[in-house]
């Protein structure tokens, strides 16, 4: 008898498996339909021996000391600050937009104070910021919105930014200094030996059994367990009772090039001129030295593996109906990006999983104390 059947071996499932096994002595069966652990963070060596991220770049960053210290039990880190350039008007310029972006794009020589004035002069004030278009236009005006955001967002999400929730573009800051880092979090680093090695250490516990290429629905009537932790798509769990929740998917085209370096930074965005959204060169992320280099092109798709929940009001309402079903389903805990229909960064998923573990442990401890009292009374 397993204490927990955990569906999905990505961050949410693996963190909960590790905590429940190591801290609460629970017996865990973790299953995944894929042939590997690590979820979308899975990395592996390609035929040329280059470490690549199979499902696109995963760059770790967090402001949470707890999350960073927790993961540090399973990996050493390589310090890494992510930088992105955007191909705009025949130039590669920094994104998020900063002082260098504007000076290069327009041939100016502005100071930070002058850039603030420039943004103020082109911004279109909005009484209410409701959409992704509103967020950008109210900060940097329509011309920069058209150059950097509109077409990129259309490609990525399949709809115009004017129809998308403000949260999508609110994630990308605008700066008046020369800071070219994509993230400004306190902790920015990559697992020294890759994500997969980190997951292997996380799940290396005698109380954890792993079943890959396994659909949980094929075993729930066969293998006994007490409770389930589900990290897959919530609509799938309920057999699409209210219809499918929209997700965006991605198609990845990996290539190995016979040159040591392909582009000046890890990621180059292509907002306008190509069907793909960005190109990633992995050696920047991993620090690997190799005579060749590995890159990946990303093509957004409407169908395929679910990656991004689509933040629109009607989708949120549909999710709420599924959440009501989830709340009424005893013995099943819904955790992670797909099961809670939220766009989480990796550290946010880890934090959510750690919080869920604490709740489960508190309930468990309360039950044990109650049983002890009953024994004493008896």
Residue-wise pLDDT for 20-63, tens only, equals: 999 999 999 999 999 999 999 999 999 999 999 999 999 999 99
Q: Can you give the CATH number for the domain in which 32 is found?
A: 3.40.50.720
Shared domain for 215 and 314, answered yes or no, is yes
Mean pLDDT for the chain? 95
> Does 166 share its domain with 207?
no
Is residue 373 included in any domain, yes or no? yes
DSSP state of 244: P
Write out pLDDT tens, residues 100-114.
999 999 999 999 999
Domain that holds residue 161: 84-170
Residue 45 lies in a domain: no
The verdict on residue 374 lying in a domain is: yes
295 within domain boundaries: no
pLDDT score for 171: 79
17: CB partners within 8 A, 6+ apart: 4, 6, 9, 28, 30, 202, 203, 205, 208
Residue 304's pLDDT is 93
Residues 104 and 166 occupy one common structural domain: yes
Please write the tens of the pLDDT for every residue from 204-244.
999 999 999 999 999 998 999 999 999 999 999 999 999 99
Same domain membership, residue 159 and residue 90: yes
Do the domain assignments include residue 191? no
Q: How many structural domains are present in the chain?
A: 2
Same-domain check for residues 314 and 375:
yes
- What are the φ/ψ torsions at residue 63 (nearest 5 degrees)? -100, 0
Query: Does any domain span residue 283?
Result: no
Are β-strands 293-301 and 308-309 bridged in parallel, bridged antiparallel, or unpaired?
unpaired
Q: Are residues 113 and 217 in the same domain?
A: no
H runs (alpha helix) in 206-247: 234-237
DSSP 181: B
| pTM > 0.75: yes or no | yes
C-alpha 105/C-alpha 245 separation (Å) is: 40
Same domain, yes or no, for 92 and 157?
yes
Q: Please check whether residue 278 lies inside any domain of the structure.
A: no
217 and 360 part of one domain: yes
Same domain, 160 and 97: yes
**197 inside domain:** no
Residues 10 and 101 in one domain: no
Mean pLDDT per 10-residue segment, the chain (378 residues): 98 98 98 98 98 98 98 98 97 96 96 96 92 94 95 94 88 92 97 98 98 96 96 98 96 98 98 95 98 98 93 94 98 97 96 97 72 49
Residue 234 and residue 116 share a domain: no
* 233 & 315 share domain: yes
């Amino acid at each position: 008898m397993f204490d927990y059947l955990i569906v999905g071996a990505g961050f949410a499932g693996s963190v909960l498996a590790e905590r429940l096994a190591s801290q609460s002595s629970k017996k865990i069966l973790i299953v995944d339909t894929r042939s590997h652990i690590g979820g979308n963070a899975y990395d592996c060596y390609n035929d040329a021996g280059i470490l690549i991220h199979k499902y696109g770049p995963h760059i770790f960053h967090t402001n949470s000391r707890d999350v960073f210290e927790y993961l540090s039990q399973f990996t050493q880190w390589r310090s890494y600050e992510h930088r992105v350039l955007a191909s705009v008007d025949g130039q590669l310029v920094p994104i998020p937009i900063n002082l260098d972006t504007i000076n290069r794009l327009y041939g100016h020589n502005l100071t930070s104070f002058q850039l603030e004035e420039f943004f103020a002069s082109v911004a279109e004030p909005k009484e209410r910021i409701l959409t992704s278009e509103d967020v950008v236009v109210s900060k940097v005006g329509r011309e920069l919105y058209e150059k950097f955001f509109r077409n990129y967002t259309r490609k990525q999400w399949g709809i115009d930014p004017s129809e998308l929730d403000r949260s999508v573009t609110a994630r990308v800051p605008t700066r008046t200094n020369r800071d070219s880092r994509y993230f400004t979090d306190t902790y920015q680093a990559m697992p020294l030996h890759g994500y997969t090695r980190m997951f292997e250490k996380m799940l290396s516990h005698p109380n954890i059994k792993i079943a890959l290429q396994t659909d949980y629905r094929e075993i729930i009537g066969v293998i006994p367990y007490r409770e389930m932790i589900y990290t897959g798509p919530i609509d799938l769990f309920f057999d699409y009772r209210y219809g499918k929740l929209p997700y965006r998917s991605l198609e990845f085209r990996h290539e190995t090039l016979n040159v040591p370096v392909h582009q000046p930074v890890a990621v180059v965005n292509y907002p306008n001129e190509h069907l793909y959204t960005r190109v990633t060169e992995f050696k920047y992320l991993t620090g690997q030295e190799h005579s060749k280099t590995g890159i990946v092109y990303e093509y957004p798709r409407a169908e395929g593996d679910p990656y991004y929940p689509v933040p629109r009001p009607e989708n949120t309402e549909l999710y709420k109906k599924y959440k009501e079903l989830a709340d009424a389903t005893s013995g099943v805990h819904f955790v992670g990006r797909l099961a809670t229909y939220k766009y989480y960064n990796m550290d946010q998923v880890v934090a959510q999983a750690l919080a869920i573990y604490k709740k489960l442990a508190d309930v468990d401890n309360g039950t044990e104390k109650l049983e002890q009292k009953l024994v004493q009374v008896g």
